[in-house]
């Protein structure tokens, strides 16, 4: 009986577990927050809840916060563990927080549903006194054409910003134009009403596909000061002097309204070398010097200036003379600030090493682009750059093995001496040769052969640099995928592998460029899988939430092994 009593008490304690869900208010405005609690009675551990069912009609602003409490009533101890969230409704109307599955100490329980009455405008502050607005410069564009979106906050009440959730629009390449921190308020007048307005975010969006695309809303959480509710009878405290003593702070959530943009395809007449450049551009090419000697480096500069989708396309492949060693270019981008249009300079620097003397012309660069202002395709090209290559340095006869005049003169000074005393003769047939004689011969031979050996070694290293990098490309890529499996790293690793394996001459690669360069090199099925994987990575990088990176690294590793086997 004594052993059975604790078991009965324990059973009563476990069976007495229960969970309840509650809110602090069930009537509110669409932009007001409320508190949602789940309390577990007599639980040993914090409950585990699946909140996915309520995320359709409500947004989680913060939480959960945890709290544990104990009570002793009439000699009986009780405890509770509470989880608390701050939510905001996504729309107006009769909404319901559904029954949620809760796991308490391994036991599965369910909460009861809660009905919410959400109004269109709040009682806290009128909609026309505080609102968030998304202004777009145009709602019908071509693929790759810029849409400038400016998010502004208008207010006529005292408030402070608590948190800003910037939009992440799907189907657009995003380039930030301005993110004021902290925002600066200025005064403006709308229909004769004075407002304080601040620009919170300005962004350039470039659509990547045709059709109707929707801008995701921007969400702002702020604290608003409102007068406290007082009794109707008038008192001395109703004087405006006492208003600041009777204010209270409430939290409010603002969202921009849904905006849609229609994206049109390009008109007919697209050039064969069009790679997706949209805007207005200017192309120049130059060298740091037009007179160079063989085996000396010269820098070839390519600069693209203009306004448009500068980071969404690549230059055509450049075919340099075969008598030159060309190293992969380094790219840099400089954005011009405080412009409503995305404007900047894109620069590429090629290191060239000519191996033969003569007169050569570096390749002329031609770029096709689409100008949405006149809805026409245009073509720009750089001038042809002439390069005069002279022999390295004046050399003596072939017996000098590449020594310059100065080196031969210095060598002559080293081996000719003025005899100031009688020599010491060695008898014929004597085998005794001083060690310094052998050392002098060996040292002289080493000095004579070292420049030739070193030069040939350096030339061999330069000639095989690309081949060695190509052979190590797959191993480096697989190691990078194992180290970090994020979508950003997977995309960067694939592009780096393709550049090193096939010695592609650009650092600004995209799926279209890869498809053009590798067409016919690897099988069409694997090329299609590779292009699709690159597009999925780009979508995941610039629109987080579309896909997860749980298996993408493994998929990329398997696909790269298949692609590498055909190289």
Domain range spanning residue 518? 466-564
249: part of which helix (H) or strand (E)?
strand 247-255
Report yes or no on 395 lying in a domain: no
Report yes or no on 421 lying in a domain: no
End-of-domain residue from the set 367, 390, 413: 390
The reply to whether 115 and 32 lie within a common domain is yes
> Rounded to an integer, what distance in angstroms lies between the CA atom of residue 401 and that of residue 404?
9
Question: What does the CA dihedral 364, 275, 513, 303 come to, rounded to 10 degrees?
Answer: 40
The two three-digit tokens of residue 120, written as one number = 């269109």
The reply to whether 21 and 103 lie within a common domain is yes
The per-residue pLDDT for range 36-77, each reduced to its tens digit, is: 888 888 888 888 888 888 888 888 877 888 888 877 766 677
Cβ-count burial 76-90 (b if 16+ within 10 Å, e if not): eeeebbbbbbbbbbe
Of the candidates 405, 385, 386, 383, the residue with the CA atom closest to the CA atom of residue 394: 405
Report yes or no on 423 lying in a domain: no
Report yes or no on 529 lying in a domain: yes
pLDDT of res. 505: 63
Report yes or no on 455 lying in a domain: no
> Rounded to an integer, what distance in angstroms lies between the CA atom of residue 213 and that of residue 226?
38
Q: What is the CATH number of the domain that holds 377?
A: 2.60.40.740
pLDDT of res. 482: 80
The reply to whether 259 and 131 lie within a common domain is yes
The reply to whether 77 and 24 lie within a common domain is yes
Residues 6+ apart with CB under 8 A from 527: 515, 518, 519
End-of-domain residue from the set 119, 152, 181: 119
Number of domains observed in the structure of the chain: 4
φ, ψ for residue 415 (rounded to 5)?
A: -105, -5
Report yes or no on 512 lying in a domain: yes
Report yes or no on 100 lying in a domain: yes
Residues 6+ apart with CB under 8 A from 371: 278, 279, 280, 377, 378
The reply to whether 297 and 333 lie within a common domain is yes
The reply to whether 251 and 365 lie within a common domain is no
End-of-domain residue from the set 79, 96, 119: 119
The reply to whether 43 and 80 lie within a common domain is yes
The per-residue pLDDT for range 534-560, each reduced to its tens digit, is: 887 877 765 555 555 556 788 888 888
The reply to whether 111 and 151 lie within a common domain is no
Report yes or no on 410 lying in a domain: no
Integer angstrom CA distances of residue 335 from 172, 312, 506, 535: 19, 14, 20, 25
pLDDT of res. 474: 82
pLDDT of res. 542: 58
The reply to whether 101 and 193 lie within a common domain is no
List of the chain residues with pLDDT < 50: 1-15, 122-125, 232, 236-238, 240-243, 395-416
The reply to whether 84 and 35 lie within a common domain is yes
The reply to whether 305 and 333 lie within a common domain is yes
Question: What does the CA dihedral 426, 431, 436, 438 come to, rounded to 10 degrees?
Answer: 130
Residue appearing with tokens 């702020």: 222
The reply to whether 250 and 367 lie within a common domain is no
pTM: 0.53
């Amino acid at each position: 009986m004594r052993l059975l009593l604790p078991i009965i008490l324990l059973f009563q304690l476990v069976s007495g577990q229960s969970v309840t869900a509650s809110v602090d208010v069930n009537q509110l405005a669409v932009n007001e927050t409320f508190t949602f609690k789940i309390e577990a009675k007599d639980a040993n551990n914090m409950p585990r809840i699946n909140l996915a069912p309520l995320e359709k009609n409500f947004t989680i602003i913060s939480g959960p916060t945890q709290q544990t409490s104990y009570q002793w009533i009439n000699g009986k101890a009780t405890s509770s563990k509470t989880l608390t969230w701050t939510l905001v409704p996504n729309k107006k109307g009769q909404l319901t927080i559904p029954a949620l599955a809760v796991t308490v100490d391994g036991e599965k329980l369910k909460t009861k549903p809660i009905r919410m009455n959400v109004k269109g405008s709040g009682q806290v502050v009128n909609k026309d006194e505080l609102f968030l607005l998304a202004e777009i410069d145009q709602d019908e564009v071509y693929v790759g054409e810029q849409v400038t979106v400016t998010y502004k906050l208008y207010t006529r009440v005292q408030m402070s910003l608590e948190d800003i959730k910037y939009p992440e629009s799907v189907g657009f390449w995003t380039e930030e134009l301005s993110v004021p921190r902290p925002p600066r308020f200025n005064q403006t007048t709308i229909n004769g009403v004075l407002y304080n307005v601040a620009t919170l975010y300005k962004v350039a969006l470039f659509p990547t596909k045709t059709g109707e695309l929707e801008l995701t809303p921007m969400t702002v959480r702020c604290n608003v000061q409102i007068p406290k509710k007082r009794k109707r009878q008038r008192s001395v405290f109703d004087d405006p002097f006492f208003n600041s003593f009777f204010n209270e702070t409430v939290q409010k959530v603002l969202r921009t309204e849904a905006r849609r943009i229609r994206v049109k395809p390009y008109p007919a007449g697209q050039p064969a070398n069009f790679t997706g450049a949209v805007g207005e551009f200017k192309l120049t090419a130059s060298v740091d010097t037009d007179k160079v000697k063989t085996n000396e480096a010269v820098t070839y500069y390519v600069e693209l200036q203009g306004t448009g989708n500068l980071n969404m396309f690549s230059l055509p492949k450049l075919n340099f003379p075969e008598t030159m060693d060309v190293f992969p270019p380094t790219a840099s981008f400089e954005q011009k600030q405080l412009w409503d249009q995305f404007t900047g300079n894109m620069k590429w620097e090629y290191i060239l090493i000519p191996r033969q003397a003569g007169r050569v012309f570096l390749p002329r660069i031609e770029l096709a682009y689409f100008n949405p202002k006149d809805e026409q395709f245009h073509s720009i090209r750089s001038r042809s750059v002439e390069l005069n290559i002279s022999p390295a340095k004046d050399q003596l006869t072939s017996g000098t093995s590449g020594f310059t005049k100065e080196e031969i003169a210095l060598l002559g000074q080293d081996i000719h001496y003025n005899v100031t005393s009688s020599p010491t003769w060695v008898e014929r047939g004597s085998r005794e040769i001083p060690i310094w004689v052998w050392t002098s011969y060996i040292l002289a031979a080493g000095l004579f052969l070292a420049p030739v050996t070193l030069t040939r070694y350096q030339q061999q290293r330069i000639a095989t640099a690309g081949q060695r990098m190509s052979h190590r490309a797959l191993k480096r890529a697989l190691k990078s995928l194992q180290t970090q499996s994020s979508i950003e790293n997977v995309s960067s690793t694939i592009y780096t592998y393709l550049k090193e394996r096939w010695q592609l001459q650009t650092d600004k690669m995209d799926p279209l460029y890869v498809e053009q360069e590798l067409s016919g090199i690897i099988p069409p099925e694997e090329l299609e899988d590779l292009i699709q994987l690159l597009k999925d990575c780009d979508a995941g990088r610039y629109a987080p939430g579309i896909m997860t990176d749980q298996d993408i690294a493994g998929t990329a590793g398997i696909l790269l092994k298949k692609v590498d086997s055909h190289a």
